[in-house]
Amino acid sequence: MIAELVAVGTEILLGNIVNTNSAYLSEQMAQLGLSVYYETVVGDNHDRMKAVIASALDRSDVVILSGGLGPTEDDLTKEVCAEVMGLPLEEDPHSRKRIERYMKEYEKNHPDRRITTNNYKQAQVPKGALVIDNHNGTAPGLILEKDGKTAILLPGPPNELIPMFEESVFPYLRKKQPEIICSQVVKICGIGESQVAADIQDMIEAQTNPTLAPYAKTGEVHLRITAKGEDEKECKKLIKPVVRELKRRFGKNIFALEAEKTLEESVVDMLRDQGLTLALAESCTGGAIAARIVNVPGASQVFTHGFVTYSNRAKRKCLGVKKSTLKTEGAVSAKCAKEMAKGGCANSDADICLSITGLAGPDGGTKETPVGTVFMGCCYNGQTITREYHFTGNRTKIRQQAVASALVLLRECIMEGIEKND
């Protein structure tokens, strides 16, 4: 069954509000097993709305519209949809009573405000519509069915739309759709998107059900396995061998099998499992790596110190970087990163310290050390390694890539230490 989403509101087109409803509804359609091929935003204009709704109903089985159900003249969704489907409007006594009750309560709380009669416009519904009570506002939701097509009208505010969808619309659509869709995410780090894509090309070419799709993030590649089946148990059975094969191909580069788990969470979990403490010595990232770490609940169990040594003086004073190193090699060098990492461990008594120093730009680069050059060091088990990176983009992008790569390096160092201990 094909579903289509239409978000109504000129304020969305102007950028005054962000259209979060379509993202939420898309996710719900996937869970229900409905295919979504089109999502549209249309302003509060009768003719354009009419054309959009007519096209949507022509090519899709279910059209879900959000917004435009309020009491003002530019709230036209219900009127235009009824016109397209050839359904006359009539007052719904039940909705009228609910609106009256809501307004009386509103007057009690706001005695200085006048209740206008245009609020009762919301009690007008297309003939034969299934009315959905709004427990968080005045505009009821509506389900219209005609000639095998269904239009579902929902209020725009997310705090009204989401409860209404979950309480009434999801069960309604679930009965119409015999199959469900389940998905599993496999998260990979330390390998680029192009390499991952090449390594799974044969799986993608042979796929039917389930399907496999890569999604790139800064420093990560996510693989989403999606299966369609009669129930969740069948879907999981289809997904399981694909996950097994991905584990065989990517091994320790897989850091998570849950959509919610982040790279920093996997690092904190590894530190906690091994009973290790962490210190960070940052220069060009200015504490951004530490910010990612402390976003993880329970990070205080493993994270002890964060040194932000932006100046050369701070590198010398807080981390013991040698003056000669800064003079001969420079702050952006492998030797400086090595001494930062060793000094971070020595001055914090942490088991492991990761350091980072580099040029995020836009100025300061040279032919020998261009903008985007970043050095990292990791001190663990009495040994210190360094890595050199070259990132591209603006200052923000370079710093984001550096933070992601630092977390990957930190994870690799912990894993290497675990393997040596074993």
* DSSP 8-state assignment for residue 287: T
Indicate if the pLDDT at residue 56 is higher than 90. yes
Confidence of residue 417 (pLDDT cuts 50, 70, 90): confident
Burial string for 66-78 (b: 16+ CB within 10 Å, else e) reads bbbbbeeeebbbb
Q: For the chain, give every residue range classified as CATH 3.40.980.10.
A: 2-176
Q: What is the pLDDT of residues 358-396, one digit of tens each?
A: 999 999 999 999 999 999 999 998 899 999 999 999 999
Give the pLDDT confidence score for residue 100 in this predicted structure.
87
Quick one: which of 29, 33, 23, 27 has its CA closest to 4? 29
Phi and psi for 146 in degrees, rounded to 5? -160, 135
Overall CATH class of domain 263-421? alpha beta
Global pTM exceeds 0.75: yes
Question: Residue 268 in contact with residue 296, Cβ under 8 Å?
Answer: yes
Task: Name the CATH code of domain 187-256 (choices 1.10.10, 1.10.1060, 3.40.50, 3.30.70).
Answer: 3.30.70
Give the pLDDT confidence score for residue 110 in this predicted structure.
75
Fold of 2-176: Molybdenum Cofactor Biosythetic Enzyme; Chain A (3.40.980)
Indicate if the pLDDT at residue 177 is higher than 90. no
Q: What is the pLDDT of residues 224-281, one digit of tens each?
A: 999 989 888 999 999 999 999 999 999 999 999 999 999 999 999 999 999 999 999 9
Tokens for 36? 């979504």
Tokens for 249? 């191909």
Give the pLDDT confidence score for residue 178 in this predicted structure.
77
Q: Can you name the residues that pair with 280 across neighbouring β-strands?
A: 306, 354
Indicate if the pLDDT at residue 422 is higher than 60. no
Give the pLDDT confidence score for residue 106 in this predicted structure.
73
Enumerate residues 6+ apart whose C-beta is below 8 A from 100. none
Q: What is the pLDDT of residues 325-349, one digit of tens each?
A: 999 999 999 999 999 999 999 999 9
Give the pLDDT confidence score for residue 151 in this predicted structure.
98
Q: What is the pLDDT of residues 78-116, one digit of tens each?
A: 999 999 999 999 999 999 999 888 888 877 777 776 667
Q: For the chain, give every residue range classified as CATH 3.90.950.20.
A: 263-421
Residues in the chain: 422
Q: For the chain, give every residue range classified as CATH 3.30.70.
A: 187-256
Torsion of CA 97, 99, 101, 104, to 10 degrees: -140
- CA separation (Å) from 9 to 46, 370, 406? 12, 47, 43
